[in-house]
Structure 1
Amino acid sequence: MPRMTASVLKVVAALLAAGGAERYGLQLMQATGLPSGTLYPILVRLERAGWVESRWEETDPAAEGRPARRYYLLTAEGATSARREVAAMRQQMSGAPVLGESPA
């Protein structure tokens, strides 16, 4: 499982908010406010962990007038794990005990 930092949580939350739709890097940068130098290493780690899958769009960059985009999508495992991690973080931030933990 990838280490859950605030930046990783932003990325998985943005992918969850996409509702199963693919997102490309610029969309994720805009949704999270993260720079490319932070976003792309997180996406690589999430992909290695099996949480995200990616693909290059099949297009002719010259015809489109822009580089080909790489699209990212949460896997079924990634979506389940991401929902759990985002919920746990929300509970921690609200001060509520996390499921399975006893209150201090």
Structure 2
Amino acid sequence: MARARRPSPQTTAVLHALAREPSTWRHGYALCRQLGIKPGSMYPILMRLADRGLLETTWDADADAAPGRPPRHLYRLTGTGLALAAELPEPAAAAARTARVLAPGRERLAGGHP
């Protein structure tokens, strides 16, 4: 039996970003810029979500694309991905719940360093 793991904060952020406009196809690069996640982290997240059936993917068939530009993947949530995003807390709310006060004016994340 596979153990269900809670998605990382980055994965949660990607799911929520896609859930805001569930019918819109999005480029990975646009998600990188929107969320401040580096491509080396973003694309493995997108591949894992697609492999798990949470994202559908297609190739950008834009006829007006710049000459010489390679085709790009587009992503959007499946119904299952949208349901998962709805179950997960917003990333900022999740971070606020994990923060704890050590002393007046000093906070740290649980398990982190000041």
TM bracket, shorter-chain basis: 0.7 to 0.9
**Alpha carbons 2:54, 2:80 under 8 Å: kept:** yes
The two structures have a TM-score, normalised by structure 1, of 0.74
* Structure 1 vs Structure 2 CA RMSD: 2.6
Question: Is the partner of 2:88 in helix, strand or coil?
Answer: helix
Q: Which residue of 1 aligns with 2:66?
A: 64
> For residues 8 and 57 of structure 1, what CA distance do their matches in structure 2 show?
23
- Deviations along 1:16-71, whole A, 9 cap, x unmatched? 1234201011111111110100000000110111110101122569x623221210
Higher helix share: 1
| TM-score, length basis structure 2 | 0.68
Which structure 2 residue ranges, 5 or more long, are not aligned? 99-114
* Greater share of residues in strand: 2
| Distance 1:67-1:86 versus aligned 2 partners, 3 A rule | farther
The percent identity for this pair of structures is 29
Q: Which has the larger radius of gyration?
A: 2
Query: Residues 73 and 2 of structure 1: is their aligned pair in 2 closer, same or farther, counting only changes over 3 Å?
Result: farther
